[in-house]
Each structure stands twice: as structure tokens, then as C-alpha cells.
């Protein structure tokens, strides 16, 4: 019996607030460093459980669009948003980020993709896509997981 991939990720990421390998401390530091104006419009591709967008709303009162393929993670995101930012202008869309086309291109003040550049076949494709969705002089943020040091061979076994 083959497990559905998004159910697998739901199980393996059940205890994670953020689906990428980072700490809440680092996430909060990033949010503090951003110093955004309120009322910006933000796009997050591969939003996962929506923690980054929800924290942006809590801190800066932005409006947001989060796109993700996982119905399980988006379910978590919707529950958290309803509890923490019930009146926010937040749209959570279940679809492949590669297929997301907003009504108006270049309409976001900040476009980001954290830990999922594979959606656009790598870093260059990710940057091109995010640029196409961001207003002139807007912000683009891309983050990728990486090894601090190569793990031992046994780790992969």
C-alpha cells in the first residue's frame, strides 16, 4: 500500500510550526529585521502551515496570499488563521505554486518562497517567477535549507 505524499508530510511535520528546518527564534529575528510598512500585499509560495504569513499579519498588518499543494498543511493554516488573525485579509489557496497566476501580475509588495525553489526548477526560476509577481521596487525573499556540514553516511541509511 502506497501512502499519499501529502499525508506522509502531514505525519512527519505534525509537530512543526514551520515546515522548513529553522527555529522560531530565527523566524522571529527575520520578522523583526524586515521592518515592513503595514498594509503591504504579500505572496508566499509553498506557505505550508502559514506560520510565516500569519506572523507577518500579526506583526505588520499585511494582507496575504499563501499557496500550497498540501490540503493537510493548509487545513492547519486555516485553523491557525481563524484563531489568531480572524479578521485578516488572507487567502490560502490549495494548488501548485507553479500554476498560480494572480488576477494582476506585479501586484505584490513582497513575494517569497522559503525552502521550495524546486517548484520553479531551482533558484533562477524561482527568482524569475517571484519578480513577475512583485511590484517595481518591491521585495523578493527566497530561502533554502542547506547542510552546515555534510552528515555521516549512516544518516542517509
Pick the CATH number of 38-156 from 3.40.50.150, 3.30.2310.20, 3.30.1180.10, 3.40.190.10: 3.40.50.150
Residue written as grid cell 484563531: 83
pLDDT digits (tens, 9 = 90+) for 32-89: 999 999 989 999 999 999 999 999 999 999 999 999 999 999 999 999 999 999 999 9
Determine the longest span between alpha carbons in the chain, in angstroms.
50
Distance CA(114)–CA(105), nearest Å, equals: 20
The confidence score (pLDDT) of residue 43 equals 98
Amino acid at each position: 500500500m502506497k501512502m499519499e505524499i501529502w499525508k506522509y508530510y502531514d505525519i512527519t511535520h505534525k509537530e512543526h510550526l514551520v515546515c522548513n528546518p529553522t527555529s522560531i527564534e530565527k523566524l522571529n529575528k527575520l520578522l523583526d529585521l524586515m521592518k515592513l510598512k503595514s498594509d503591504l500585499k504579500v505572496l508566499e509560495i509553498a506557505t505550508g502551515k502559514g506560520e510565516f504569513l500569519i506572523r507577518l499579519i500579526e506583526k505588520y498588518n499585511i494582507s496575504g496570499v499563501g499557496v500550497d499543494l498540501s490540503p493537510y498543511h493548509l487545513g492547519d493554516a486555516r485553523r491557525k488563521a481563524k484563531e489568531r488573525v480572524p479578521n485578516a485579509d488572507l487567502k490560502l489557496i490549495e494548488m501548485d505554486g507553479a500554476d498560480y497566476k494572480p488576477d494582476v501580475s506585479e501586484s505584490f509588495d513582497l513575494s517569497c518562497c522559503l525552502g521550495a525553489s524546486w517548484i520553479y526548477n531551482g533558484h533562477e526560476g524561482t527568482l524569475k517567477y517571484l519578480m513577475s509577481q512583485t511590484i517595481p521596487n518591491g521585495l523578493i525573499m527566497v530561502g533554502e535549507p542547506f547542510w552546515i556540514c555534510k552528515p555521516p553516511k549512516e544518516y542517509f541509511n
